[in-house]
Amino acid sequence: MSAQPTALYDYRKYWAECFGPAPWLPMSQAEMAGLGWDSCDIIIISGDGYVDHPSFGMAVIGRVLEAQGFRVGMIAQPDWRSAEPFKALGRPNLFFGVTAGNMDSMINHYTADKKRRNDDAYTPGNTAGKRPDRAVTVYSQRLREAYKDVPIVIGGIEASLRRIAHYDYWSDRIRRSILLDSRADLLVFGNAERAIVEVAHQIASGRAISQLTDIRGTAFVTDRPPEGRLLVDSTSVDQPGTIEPHPNPYEGMEPEPCAENQTGTTADKPEPVRLMASPKPDTHAIRLPSAEAVAEDPVLYAHASRVFHKETNPHNALPMIQAHGDREVWLNPPPIPLETEELDWVFELPYQRLPHPAYGDAAVPAMEMIQHSVNIMRGCFGGCTFCSITEHEGRIIQSRSEDSIIREVERIRDTSPAFTGVISDLGGPTANMWRLACKDKETEAACRKLSCVYPGICKNLNTDHTPLINLYRKARETEGVKKVLIASGLRYDLAVESPEYVRELVTHHVGGYLKIAPEHTESGPLSKMMKPGIGSYDRFAEMFERFSKEAGKKQYLIPYFIAAHPGTTDEDMVELALWLKKHRFRADQVQTFYPSPMATATAMYHTGFNPLQRLRRNSDKMGTVKRLSQRRLHKAFLRYHDPENWPLLRKTLKQMGRRDLIGNGAMHLIPARQPPKRHRVVKTEGRTFRTQHSGEQRGKGRRR
């Protein structure tokens, strides 16, 4: 498991390189014939419509494999009701790659209240129902029917976040690793370029897929642990009162070198790292509690989640193994992040930046949103517990070079017929983490923290936004570019460390509204989210207002909040509603906590325990919001201004002893009486209808 991986562009090309890059990865036998191909080496099955754009994972993996010399075909959104559509391109010479697409199929299909969605932004025509629930599993099973002996490699976010036993919100139970349900041969997790390229070249060299057991960023099912491994037992937690001491399940995890000396500011000198004897990735592995154990024991589930999230730094993470009955799921350490030159190479492959011509005029809404955006980085070191970016992409930021980014801006300008001069985004998982990293590589390699910015900004973190400011200026000064907007999520607690960055952002890169996500105002839920206190938001809001005024612009902040997050009480939601009213915010769209697979907050939701702390048998339980009625109540507090919510809020406030918040004065949250229904007349096709609506019009989510 080499610590110095081969650069993506340094592999010896496969013999089929002689065919050159395809205008489009072929989706039919006719397209293959037009390219002179008699077969595909690799065929990708995707739950998304095929959009050849670097923001679509299947296109990235396809083009990366093509650049290695392989002939890559694409079967997008096949009809899963039979195996025949999976034979459209014939039998691949090497393997099938399977992904649900850019979104988890269950999140794509269902709201946080488990209601079926009626559209799909990743499908031509925005049509729902073009992929199955649990798409990776269903696609893989159909492939086994079509070609029993062809290797199957699964990946993408759906597979990545289901690589071990996990809580499944939609069935409200623990499901085993997706490897077992899908019957796939190999799972690649996270950003998969390194792993999939290595897998492809090794299979092409004649190695059986069952022999590929040492590739970073992969997981597989085995009958026994690899030979020569020492297993660190982490299948139990401390139990007070026992006669014989139990082994410490957190051995080697603490102390955390970066956990100390946290402040709200940065320092020039990095803190020294304390080296400690610990197990090594090449000789040791961690045994997690079995799938059966975590299904039966909430404490062990929370403990397994804690251990899992501690093993995400690719420079010190150990392999992990988890028993599923008489089988074992083996997880290799995460892949080494791509260097800047490699990331540039990936994003400058010959993407068409359009949907496949087979779709005709049918629009793909997700593509239209990002067609003229530029991805400048990957990863996130924020560690928000409700988010899965870190588990998927890692917390070490991978940044493209300024030159590569500007070349992509120019390519959009020169090749997109729909370009009007506006770059819709320069960003990524987080808008302003480009080129931010630990000041010391040794410290970074040893760190086991879950976040670099919680509870405060680590003194070892470089927060200099100057390179990003210069990038913004260079992009907006590019000939033919009228405006560069920043639409990715902004980490405002980092932004306030650089007032000049906020000035640049507010003066030139806001299109009237800027969305940011303080998520809550109260310390209880914020501590479970690992988000900063509302004071950071207040500092940013003051800068935003001041710099907007200096620029002579009328601009608005749109704060996003989460209802029903684990650790949130009804009282917390009252305080948040009062804060919203005080600041005259009327949220039109609100977000209810969505327990996505393997997120830390999902472990909180399922178990009632907090994996951010050491788990013991006598650990205190925390409050969770599970009942649909309470989830709706918390959502109603976010929309305190909506008359439809007033009856529920009145009843709740009376039960809470907060009648003082009911009345018609400025200090009251909701009025004492429901407004009369008003009628309006609607004429259509010669007929007249009387309709009812409440007396107050809904706001648009901005300050009034």
What's residue 140's pLDDT?
A: 98
Looking at residues 324-328, what average pLDDT do you find? 97
Residue pair 52/353 in contact (Cβ under 8 Å)? The answer is: yes
The 3 state secondary structure assigned to 328-353 is: EEEECCCCCCCCHHHHHHHHCCCCCC
Q: What is the pTM of this model?
A: 0.91
Average pLDDT, the chain: 91
Rounded CA separation 585/534 (Å)? 15
Within a domain: 252: no
What's residue 692's pLDDT?
A: 43
Q: Which of 132-146, 153-167, 466-480, 581-595 has the weakest average pLDDT?
A: 581-595
Rounded CA separation 310/448 (Å)? 6
Which run of H or of E encompasses 681?
A: strand 678-684
Within a domain: 214: yes
Residue 313, token pair as written in the block? 């730094």
Judged against a pLDDT cut of 50, whether residue 104 lies above it is answered with: yes
Q: Which of 34-38, 287-291, 589-593 has the weakest average pLDDT?
A: 589-593
The per-residue DSSP string of 228-253 comes to TPEEEE-S--B-TT-SSPPP-TTTTT
Looking at residues 224-251, what average pLDDT do you find? 71
Rounded CA separation 222/432 (Å)? 41
Judged against a pLDDT cut of 50, whether residue 492 lies above it is answered with: yes
What's residue 681's pLDDT?
A: 54
Q: How confident is the model at residue 680 (pLDDT cuts 50, 70, 90)?
A: low
Within a domain: 137: yes
Q: Give me the domain span that covers residue 77.
A: 8-223+326-331
Judged against a pLDDT cut of 70, whether residue 254 lies above it is answered with: no
Question: 10 Å Cβ neighbour count for 380?
Answer: 25
Q: How confident is the model at residue 280 (pLDDT cuts 50, 70, 90)?
A: confident
Judged against a pLDDT cut of 70, whether residue 352 lies above it is answered with: yes
What's residue 282's pLDDT?
A: 84
Report the percentage of the chain scoring pLDDT > 70: 90
Within a domain: 496: no
Rounded CA separation 375/57 (Å)? 13
Within a domain: 165: yes
First to last CA, the chain: 57
Within a domain: 63: yes
Number of H helices, E strands in the chain: 23, 25
Within a domain: 112: yes
Rounded CA separation 528/600 (Å)? 9
Q: How confident is the model at residue 678 (pLDDT cuts 50, 70, 90)?
A: low
pLDDT, one tens digit per residue, over 599-622 is: 999 999 999 999 999 999 999 999
Q: Which amino acid is at 138?
A: V
The per-residue DSSP string of 101-159 comes to -SS-HHHHHB-TT-PBPS--TTSGGG-S-SS-TTHHHHHHHHHHHH-TTS-EEEEHHHH
Looking at residues 99-114, what average pLDDT do you find? 97
Residue 230, C-beta contacts closer than 8 angstroms, at least 6 positions apart: 279, 283, 284, 285
The per-residue DSSP string of 510-540 comes to --SEEEEEEE-SSHHHHHHHT---HHHHHHH
Question: 10 Å Cβ neighbour count for 404?
Answer: 19
Rounded CA separation 38/92 (Å)? 10
The count of structural domains within the chain is 1
What's residue 229's pLDDT?
A: 87
Which run of H or of E encompasses 700?
A: none
Q: Mapping DSSP to helix (H, G, I), strand (E, B) and coil, where does residue 219 land?
A: strand
What's residue 161's pLDDT?
A: 96
Rounded CA separation 199/217 (Å)? 11
Measured N-to-C along each axis, helices 57-67 and 193-204 cross at an angle, to the nearest 10 degrees, of 40
Within a domain: 167: yes
Rounded CA separation 281/259 (Å)? 22
Q: How confident is the model at residue 689 (pLDDT cuts 50, 70, 90)?
A: very low
